[in-house]
Amino acid sequence: MIPTDGEFSMLYVAYGIMASFLVIGLISSTKKKYFISNSIVFLCYLAFMIYIFSDAENFKYGNSLAVLFYGALFVLSHFVILGLIKLIRIIMNK
Per-residue pLDDT tens digits for 4-56:
788 889 999 999 999 999 999 999 989 899 999 999 999 999 999 999 988 88
Query: Number of structural domains, the chain?
Result: 1
pLDDT at residue 75 is higher than 80: yes
The answer to whether the CB of 85 falls within 8 A of the CB of 41 is: no
Residue 62 lies in a domain: yes
Angle at which helix 64-93 crosses helix 6-28, to 10 degrees, equals: 30
Considering only residues 2 and 42, tell me which one the structure prediction assigns the higher pLDDT. 42
Residue 57 lies in a domain: yes
pLDDT value of residue 1: 62
User: Within a 10 A sphere around the Cβ of 83, how many other Cβ atoms?
Assistant: 10
pLDDT at residue 61 is higher than 90: no
Residue 32 lies in a domain: yes
Residue 1 lies in a domain: no
